[in-house]
Amino acid sequence: MEQNWNGLKSQCMHCRACGLCETRHNVVFGVGNPQAEVLFIGEGPGENEDLQGEPFVGRAGKLLDLMLEAVGLSRKHNIYIANMVKCRPPQNRDPLPEEQEACAHWLAEQIRLISPKIVVCLGRIAAFHFISPDFKVTRQHGEFIEKDGILYMGMFHPAAILRNPNQKPVAFDDFVTLRDKVQEICTHTTLTFD
Q: Which residues bind ligand SF4 (CB under 6 A)?
A: 12, 15-18, 20-21, 27, 85-87, 99, 102-103, 106
In angstroms, what CA-CA distances link 182 with 31, 78, 144?
Answer: 19, 11, 12
Q: Is 40 helix (H, G, I), strand (E, B) or coil?
A: strand
CB of 7 to ligand SF4, least distance (A): 15
- Contact criterion met (CB below 8 Å) for 128 and 41: no
CB of 39 to ligand SF4, least distance (A): 18
CB of 104 to ligand SF4, least distance (A): 8
CB of 4 to ligand SF4, least distance (A): 18
Q: Nearer to ligand SF4 by C-beta: 6 or 192?
A: 6
- Contact criterion met (CB below 8 Å) for 82 and 129: no
Q: Nearer to ligand SF4 by C-beta: 47 or 173?
A: 47
- DSSP H or E stretch at residue 126: helix 124-130
Q: Nearer to ligand SF4 by C-beta: 28 or 153?
A: 28
CB of 62 to ligand SF4, least distance (A): 24
**Considering only CA atoms, which of 121, 132, 118, 119 is closest in space to residue 154?**
121
- DSSP H or E stretch at residue 31: strand 31-32
User: Hey, CA dihedral for 180, 182, 185, 191, is it positive or negative?
Assistant: negative
Q: Nearer to ligand SF4 by C-beta: 23 or 138?
A: 23
Q: Nearer to ligand SF4 by C-beta: 5 or 172?
A: 5
CB of 50 to ligand SF4, least distance (A): 11
The alpha carbon of residue 147 and the mean position of all alpha carbons in its chain are separated, in whole angstroms, by 17
Q: Nearer to ligand SF4 by C-beta: 95 or 116?
A: 95
- Cβ atoms within 10 Å of 53's Cβ, excluding its own: 16
